[in-house]
Chain A
């Protein structure tokens, strides 16, 4: 009878050796106590970080010019969110994995219109604002080309945008209601009312912070804070935690790719890195079936250290 070929990286010979007493419940209990104590010690000694959330109020008071410029980019649809593409809108094709336009195929299922959601609707919620109300009416009645002309005029002048005595000042004379929008939105932000308007929109209860987070991320304030704490993508930030706390060391390979060509200069970096990491995860999953990769343990012979007692015993026999 033909015996099946023994593959040393796949098969094992049945164990015919001895067994010794082993208390599995005791081992588990000791492990739990040790881990529990270690956790307690680390928590008592080091604590954990808790940097308070940034609000649009904080942002607009700390860097009002950055806020006003960001608000303009939402209105003239040049912000990161406005030009994002799926899942927020159809402004761009988005990232491509070779020929695959994955995000675009799934579509804009988390609809965000920066003009409506970040500027017009929040301003509409302000009570007792006759000038603003009139300007909002003017905007709603204007054609797309008229709005574009206003925005072009204001955007050109915004290079010299200043905030003086709480007022956004820009030298733009043919910008229609845009100067009022940007000024009033900045003041609304500085009171904290914009934080609320973006979160609640038309609902009472909400746990969805898509709008305020996108608005925050479009500005420079949040990213400057992150940069200061070494949390940016180009600082291996994905691995890091605030302060001197250990972060997510297990993400080292994921963030590594972002630091090297071609990923570090590619517009499709995110989807390329995801694709690569998914492929590597599948490789890790299928190690038992991959010749070569599954032979490394036998060839490196580290196992001889692990099972040295067994091999010494066999040799003695």
Chain B
């Protein structure tokens, strides 16, 4: 192959683009701007860590099937890990959202970072909902028979049947976690690409 041919390859172009956008020292930085000096900044990584624990505990639950936890104390304990990691996940995510809002973290071309965060939040709510209706107990019976009215009223109930446990379980353990992980990855990569938003300037020249 000639040099020009190599340059034109998809692989070469994609690699060059990615490395230009996110060189290793930007992907895994070893410094931060000095204004990153508040405990409010830990809630993003806390949310991410909680997501890891949610997925890990969910994976353990998957090992023995959806009804294992009803008859096994080990299974019930794993279910408890899954429940509490979800509570911590939402707790941290909402505190993170409050912090980012009051920092106006969308400034400086970071609107997409904000938007991916919001979509991840909404996707997480959907993931939690499908989890609740996959419990195969009284809770899932009640939640599904109630939620059906809201979802049916939009027309979506014709295709997304919350009373169909098999469908809900598959959305919960595959489709929605995949969406949440991809969205989270995009969100985190955007933070790395754009950097952490600087403080508001107290004195700014506003030119005509």
- Decide if A and B touch, CB cutoff 8 A: yes
User: Which residues of chain B have a CB within 8 Å of any CB of chain A?
Assistant: 28-38, 40, 42, 45-46, 48-50, 52-53, 57, 69-70, 76-77, 79-85, 87-88, 90, 92, 94, 99, 101-104, 106-108, 110-111, 114-115, 118-119, 122, 125, 128, 132, 135-142, 144-146, 149-150, 152-159, 161, 163-167, 169, 195, 197-202, 204-208
Q: Is A294 in contact with chain B by the CB < 8 A criterion?
A: yes
How many chain A residues touch the partner (CB < 8 A)?
Answer: 106
Chain A residues with CB under 8 A of B29: 22, 24
- Residue interface bits A280-315, CB-to-B below 8 A is 1, else 0: 010011111100001011101011001101110110
Contact partner of B152 (CB less than 8 A), chosen from A50, A54, A103, A217, is A103
| Contacts A40-B81, A107-B158 supplied; 7 other A-B pairs, CB < 8 Å | A35-B52, A39-B84, A46-B80, A87-B157, A242-B139, A297-B104, A313-B34
Q: Are B83 and A28 touching (Cβ within 8 A)?
A: no
Closest to A207 in B: B166
Please determine whether B204 and A43 come into contact, CB atoms closer than 8 angstroms.
no
Given A12-B198, A207-B169, A303-B200, the answer on whether A284 and B33 have CB atoms closer than 8 Å is: no
Pairwise interchain contact B76-A48, C-beta atoms closer than 8 A: yes
Whether A35 lies near B142 (C-beta < 8 A) is no
Q: Which of the segments A129-137, A148-156, A267-275 contacts the partner chain?
A: A267-275
Chain A residues within 8 Å of B, Cβ to Cβ:
2-3, 5-6, 8-13, 15, 17-25, 27-28, 31-32, 34-36, 38-40, 42-44, 46-54, 84, 86-87, 94-95, 97, 102-103, 105-110, 206-210, 213-214, 216-217, 222, 225-226, 231, 233, 237-238, 241-242, 245-246, 248-251, 268, 270-271, 273-274, 281, 284-289, 294, 296-298, 300, 302-303, 306-307, 309-311, 313-314
Contact B145 A222 (CB under 8 A): yes
Residues of A within 8 A of B84 (CB): 38-39, 42-43, 46, 48
Task: Evaluate contact between B153 and A250: CB separation under 8 angstroms.
Answer: no
> Are B104 and A19 in touch, CB under 8 angstroms?
no
B137 engages A270 (CB within 8 Å): no
Write out the residue numbers on chain A whose beta carbons fall within 8 Å of the beta carbon of B136: 53
Q: Are A50 and B53 also in contact (CB < 8 A) when A35-B46, A35-B88, A102-B155 are?
A: no
Q: Is the CB of B201 within 8 A of A8?
A: yes
Q: Select the residue from A52, A241, A271, A288 with max chain B CB neighbours within 10 A.
A: A288
